[in-house]
Structure 1
Amino acid sequence: MDLHFDIETEATHHSMALPEEKQPTQIFNNANLPVLLKFCDVVYKTNVEKEGFVNKKVEENTILKGVSGIVKPGEILAMLGPSGSGKTTLLTALGGRLGGKLYGNITYNGKPFSNAMNRLTGFVTQDDVLYPHLTVTETLIFTALLRLPSSRFTKEEKIMHAKNVIAQLGLTECKDSMIGGSILRGVSGGERKRVSIGQELLMNPSLLLLDEPTSGLDSTTAQRIVSTLSELAIDGEKTIVMTIHQPSSRIYYMFHKVLLLSEGNLVYFGMGSEAIKYFSSINFAPSMAMNPSDFLLDLANGIYTGQANEDHALNKKKLICSYKEHFSDTIEPIIFHENCDFDKSEGRFEDEKSFGNWPTNWWQQFILLLRRDVKERRYESFSCMLISEVIAAAIITGLVWYKSDISHLQDQIGLIFNMINFWFAFPLYRAIFTFPLERPMLEKERSSGMYRLSSYFMAKSAADLPMELVLPTGYVIITYWMTGLKANAVNFMCTLSTILLHVLVAQGIALAIGAITMDMKSVTTMAAVIMLIFMLSAGYFVQHLPKFIVWLKYISPSFYTYQLLIGSQYKSSEIYPCSNNNNGVCSVAEFPMIKTQMALDMREQGMAALALVIMLIGYRVVAYIALLRIGVTKNMA
Structure 2
Amino acid sequence: MTTKRTTATTTTTTTTPNDTPNTNTNTVNTGLYLRWSRIIKTVTIKADNSGLLRGSIAAPTKESNESFIRRRTNSKKNGNNKKEEKKNILKEVSGYAAPGEIVAMMGPSGSGKTSLLNCLSGRNPYNSGIVSVNGRPLGSGEQNGSGSDMKRLMSRIAYVKQDDIFFEHLTVRDQLGYTALLRLPQLWTHTRKMNEVNRIIRLLRLTKVADSKIQMLSGGEKKRVNIGTELLTDPAVLLLDEPTSGLDSTSAVALIQMLSKLARNSNKTIITSIHQPSSALFFGFDRLIMLAEGHVVYFGQPKQSLLYLKEHGLDCPLGYNGADHWMDLLVQDSAIDDDEDDDIIEDGDVENTTAIVAVTTTAVSLSDGTGSGTNTDDDDKDEYEPSKYATSWGLQYRTLVHRSLKNSRSAIFTPINVIKSCALGIISGLLWYQMDYTESRVFDRSSYFFFTMTFWVFDAMFQSFMAFPSERTVILKERASGSYRLSAYFMGKTTSEMPARLVLPLIYMVISFWMASISTSFSMFVATTFISLLSVMAGEAIGLLVGATIYDTEKGMTFMTVISLFLALVGGFFVENVPSFLVWTKYLSPFKYSFDASLQLVFDKPVPCDGSGALEALCGGSSTGYAQPEQVIEYLGVQGSVGFNVGILIAIGLVPRYLAYLALRAKKEGDR
TM-score bucket (shorter structure)? 0.7 to 0.9
Partner of 1:161: 196
How far off its partner does 1:537 sit? 0.9
Q: Report Cα offsets for 1:390-426 as digits up to 9, x if no partner.
A: 1101111111111233422222211111111111111
Partner of 1:394: 425
How far off its partner does 1:453 sit? 1.5
Q: Report Cα offsets for 1:433-486 as digits up to 9, x if no partner.
A: 111111111011111111111221122122212222221111111111122323
In the aligned structure 1, how far is the partner of 2:568 from the partner of 2:214?
Answer: 41
Partner of 1:609: 646
Q: Secondary structure at 1:403's aligned position in 2?
A: coil
How far off its partner does 1:104 sit? 2.4
C-alpha change, 1:328 and 1:537, in structure 2 (3 Å) is farther
Q: Which moved more, 1:424-433 or 1:532-541?
A: 424-433
1:43 to 40, 55, 60: 40
Partner of 1:106: 131
How far off its partner does 1:156 sit? 1.8
In the aligned structure 2, how far is the partner of 1:204 from the partner of 1:104?
Answer: 28
In the aligned structure 2, how far is the partner of 1:189 from the partner of 1:323?
Answer: 44
> Match for 1:169: what amino acid?
L
Q: Which moved more, 1:522-531 or 1:280-289?
A: 280-289
Preserved contact between residue 119 and residue 205 of structure 1 (Cα < 8 Å): yes
Matching of residue 336 in structure 1 with residue 360 in structure 2? yes
Q: Alignment identity in percent? A: 34
1:377-456 equivalences in 2 (<5 Å): 377-405=408-436, 406=438, 407-456=440-489
How far off its partner does 1:229 sit? 0.9
Preserved contact between residue 465 and residue 543 of structure 2 (Cα < 8 Å): yes
Preserved contact between residue 123 and residue 200 of structure 1 (Cα < 8 Å): yes
> Match for 1:259: what amino acid?
I
Partner of 2:349: 325
> Match for 1:164: what amino acid?
R
2:83 to 45, 53, 57: 57
Q: Secondary structure at 2:212's aligned position in 1?
A: coil
How far off its partner does 1:539 sit? 0.9
1:74-153 equivalences in 2 (<5 Å): 74-99=100-125, 102-109=127-134, 110-113=136-139, 114-151=150-187, 153=188
Preserved contact between residue 36 and residue 72 of structure 1 (Cα < 8 Å): yes
> Match for 2:130: what amino acid?
N
Q: Report Cα offsets for 1:275-316 as digits up to 9, x if no partner.
A: 1222223333334342221111111102566xxxxxx67689
C-alpha change, 1:207 and 1:477, in structure 2 (3 Å) is same
Preserved contact between residue 442 and residue 630 of structure 1 (Cα < 8 Å): no
**Unaligned ranges ≥5, structure 2:** 1-26, 52-80, 140-149, 369-385
Matching of residue 464 in structure 1 with residue 489 in structure 2? no
C-alpha change, 1:205 and 1:544, in structure 2 (3 Å) is same
> Match for 1:105: what amino acid?
I
1:257 to 254, 263, 287: 287
Preserved contact between residue 132 and residue 363 of structure 2 (Cα < 8 Å): no
In the aligned structure 2, how far is the partner of 1:171 from the partner of 1:161?
Answer: 14
Matching of residue 170 in structure 1 with residue 200 in structure 2? no
Q: Secondary structure at 2:94's aligned position in 1?
A: strand
In the aligned structure 1, how far is the partner of 2:154 from the partner of 2:634?
Answer: 61
**Unaligned ranges ≥5, structure 1:** 1-29, 181-185, 306-311, 345-354
C-alpha change, 1:212 and 1:629, in structure 2 (3 Å) is farther
Matching of residue 245 in structure 1 with residue 275 in structure 2? yes
Partner of 2:60: none
How far off its partner does 1:489 sit? 2.5
Q: Report Cα offsets for 1:189-210 as digits up to 9, x if no partner.
A: 2122111111111111011010
In the aligned structure 1, how far is the partner of 2:350 from the partner of 2:609?
Answer: 96
Partner of 2:399: 368
Preserved contact between residue 130 and residue 137 of structure 2 (Cα < 8 Å): no
How far off its partner does 1:334 sit? 1.8
In the aligned structure 2, how far is the partner of 1:318 from the partner of 1:564?
Answer: 81
2:313 to 274, 283, 296: 283
Q: Which moved more, 1:243-252 or 1:141-150?
A: 141-150
1:296 to 326, 333, 348: 326
Q: Which moved more, 1:581-590 or 1:35-44?
A: 581-590
C-alpha change, 1:576 and 1:333, in structure 2 (3 Å) is farther
How far off its partner does 1:47 sit? 2.8
TM-score (norm 2): 0.80
Q: Report Cα offsets for 1:503-535 as digits up to 9, x if no partner.
A: 111111111111111222222112111111110
In the aligned structure 1, how far is the partner of 2:352 from the partner of 2:199?
Answer: 45
Q: Report Cα offsets for 1:342-374 as digits up to 9, x if no partner.
A: 999xxxxxxxxxx98111112221222222222
Q: Which moved more, 1:578-587 or 1:163-172?
A: 578-587
TM-score (norm 1): 0.84
How far off its partner does 1:607 sit? 2.6
Partner of 1:347: none
Preserved contact between residue 366 and residue 459 of structure 1 (Cα < 8 Å): yes
Q: Secondary structure at 1:492's aligned position in 2?
A: helix
How far off its partner does 1:331 sit? 3.6
Preserved contact between residue 130 and residue 363 of structure 2 (Cα < 8 Å): no
Partner of 1:71: 97
> Match for 2:659: what amino acid?
V
1:473-488 equivalences in 2 (<5 Å): 473-488=506-521
Q: Secondary structure at 1:117's aligned position in 2?
A: helix
Preserved contact between residue 443 and residue 632 of structure 1 (Cα < 8 Å): no
Q: Report Cα offsets for 1:77-98 as digits up to 9, x if no partner.
A: 2111112222112111211111
Partner of 1:565: 598
Q: Secondary structure at 1:111's aligned position in 2?
A: strand
How far off its partner does 1:243 sit? 0.8
Preserved contact between residue 606 and residue 627 of structure 2 (Cα < 8 Å): no
> Match for 1:118: what amino acid?
M
Preserved contact between residue 442 and residue 631 of structure 1 (Cα < 8 Å): no
> Match for 1:92: what amino acid?
N
Preserved contact between residue 446 and residue 631 of structure 1 (Cα < 8 Å): no
How far off its partner does 1:213 sit? 0.8
2:572 to 530, 534, 539: 539
Aligned residue pairs: how many? 580
> Match for 1:517: what amino acid?
I
Q: Report Cα offsets for 1:202-237 as digits up to 9, x if no partner.
A: 111011010111111122211111111111212222
